[in-house]
Amino acid sequence: MRERRLDDLDIFVDSPMATAVTELTSRHVNPFDEQAHFLVRWYAKGENMSKLKFVGSVEESRALNAIRAGANIIAASGMCTADRVKYHLLENLPRPESTILMTGFQA
pTM, entire model: 0.76
Q: 5 in helix, strand or coil?
A: coil
Query: What are 38-53's pLDDT values in tens digits?
Result: 888 887 787 666 788 9
How many CA atoms does the CB half-sphere of 91 hold within 13 Å? 14
- How confident is residue 102, by pLDDT bands cut at 50, 70 and 90? confident
CA nearest to 77, candidates 40, 103, 42, 56: 103
* Rounded CA separation 4/43 (Å): 14
Give the domain ranges of the chain: 10-92
Q: Do 105 and 36 touch, CB atoms closer than 8 A?
A: no
- How confident is residue 107, by pLDDT bands cut at 50, 70 and 90? low
**Could you tell me which CATH class the domain 10-92 is placed in?**
alpha beta
> What are the b/e assignments for 33-66, b being 16+ CB within 10 Å?
eeeeeeeeeeeeeeeeeeeeebbeeeeebeebee
β-sheet bridge partners, residue 51: 10
